[in-house]
Structure formats: C-alpha cells, structure tokens
Amino acid sequence: MPSLSFVTVDVFTTTRYAGNPLAIINVPKGHDISDDQMQQIAREFNLSESVFLHESIASDNGVPEWRIRIFMTTAELPFAGHPTIGTACYALGSIAHNAPKGRLIANAGPIDVDFASDVARAAIPHNVHVHTENPFTIHDVYKLQPALVGVSSRAIDIVSPVKGMNFVCVELPDLATLAKIDNTGVKPQPRLDEAWNVGFAGSLFYVLTDGPVTDDKVVKVRTRMMEGNFEDPATGSAACALGAHLALKARSKSVHFDVTQGVEIGRKSDIGVSVVLKEGLDEVESIELSGSAVKIMEGVIEY
C-alpha cells in the first residue's frame, strides 16, 4: 500500500494549538498520486485546507522551488493564504534548513517567499476585483446573520483577491457587534459579476479597531470569516482581499494591516498584510502576506 509522510502545523501563530491548523503532505519525485486521491486524503484530515508539497525542483537561480496543490475537504483551490504561509515556513525552515528565499508554484501562479526569524513573507499573486453588478445588501447580511438585524454596516463589498476566491466583506461598528456572529449554517450566495462567477465564497466580518486607513499607517483589524457552519481561525486570502480593497478605497499608496482573527473560537491568529498601489492609486502593485507557523505532529498516511 502506498504511503506519504506528513506534518501538521498551526499557522499565523507561534503558540501551539492556536492559529489555523494545516496538513502538509510530502510528495516525492516520481510519486504517482491522482487528484481524486489527494481530495480523499484532504477529506480524511478534515481541516480547512491541506497542501500536497511536491519535492523541490532545481531552478535557474538556485532558489528552491516546490509545486503545491491546495485542497479543502470538498474542492481544490487556486490559492489560499494560511496554506501558503504554513508551507513556506515548513519548506524553507525545515526542508531547506532555514533558506532565506524560495518559490511555491500554486495553481494561481508562482509565489515568491522569504523566511527570516521564523516569519514567512509571501508575494501573493493577485487580480483584485470588486463585484459591482449585483450589490450585496444589508438585508442579505441579515439573512446570513439574524443576530445582526437592526445593526448598520459602514460598508458591504464583494471582493476577489484572485478569480475563484470570493469574500463578502462586511464592516461592523465595534467588537461587541463582531461577537454576535454565529454559525448559522447559511452559506453566502453573493451575486458575482458574470465573468467572475466561479469558486469559493465566504463571509468576512471586520472591525477597524484604531480608525480609518491612511498612508504608511499600521491599520489594526479584527475579523471573523464564516462559511456555513464553519468558522475559519485564520483566512489569509480574505485578509489580502480586504487589505487590497481598503487600500484602494482610501487611495493609500502603501499600507500595512495587522489582522487578528480566531479570537472568539479560542484560536487567535496574527496575520500581516502589506499592500502597495500603483502610481494612479487605482490598481494594486503588490500584496505581501506574512506570518509564522509551529509544527504540531508528523506521521505517515497510507492510501
């Protein structure tokens, strides 16, 4: 029976049993594993995402490269934040013996990663899109979260950091309101723009805890990401989507966001997002996602 080694790590934290758990399955060169088998293994781990890390390949510039495949329990994703950071920490820190630079080749494109002082930084592939054809209304929010009925929102936007990843971003007035969010079992059904009507959709509720976005400011944000009955402890892709959208909305050339997620479910996660806009301030030049990870377990899975 074929088998593969694996590790699990908690991502966006330096504390074990906090952050967001991630399974990383090592796939040696020449190993034959099908998409269906990878999906089955991801379903067995039953985490928000699992990564299949293919053995490093030689690159022209000597920087190690790894092909990665990211799976939820039900489908493959082109990109996701906490798998990127968790895999970067493991690949550069453990496999490559604290190599300072590397590259992850995801379905969404190549991701250049740096690693220093136990923190990974990833240059995130992006094609930021704000959906405008069919706006999400406050009454749609109430259907998702009945506990919010009567609460006003300062902003409701549907944002995609890349095609196939979609988030309904709802700004709430304070942390007390954020605490009302519950696992209602209702999945968001955003009416996506026609050319972007594909992929995952989640609900991101957020509070700007120290005021509005301005240039060169560290903006502190508290978030919760819901998808039906599931609350994600840390969602790097949603943090990237939100950071890019807020920077564009404020027309701020360069902004860093300190995003804290997972507090309400006992898995505090610390997510860093840095956004730089192009000179016209209407397009994203770069998005950098940063965070740490700590190893929890290792073993072998047979399939």
Indicate which residue of 44, 49, 133, 231 is catalytic. 49
DSSP the chain: --EEEEEEEEES-SSTT-SEEEEEEEE-TT----HHHHHHHHHHHTSS-EEEEEPPB--TTS--EEEEEEE-SS-EES--HHHHHHHHHHIIIIISSS-SEEEEEETTEEEEEEEETTEEEEE-----EEE-SSPPPHHHHHHH-GGGTT---S-EEEEESSTTEEEEEEE-S-HHHHTT-----PPP-----GGG--SEEEEEEEEETT----TT-EEEEEEEEEETTEEES--HHHHHHHHHHHHHHHT-SEEEEEEEE-GGGT--EEEEEEEEE-TTSSSEEEEEEEE-EEEEEEEEEE-
Our answer to whether residue 49 is catalytic in this structure is yes
- Which residues are known to be catalytic? 49
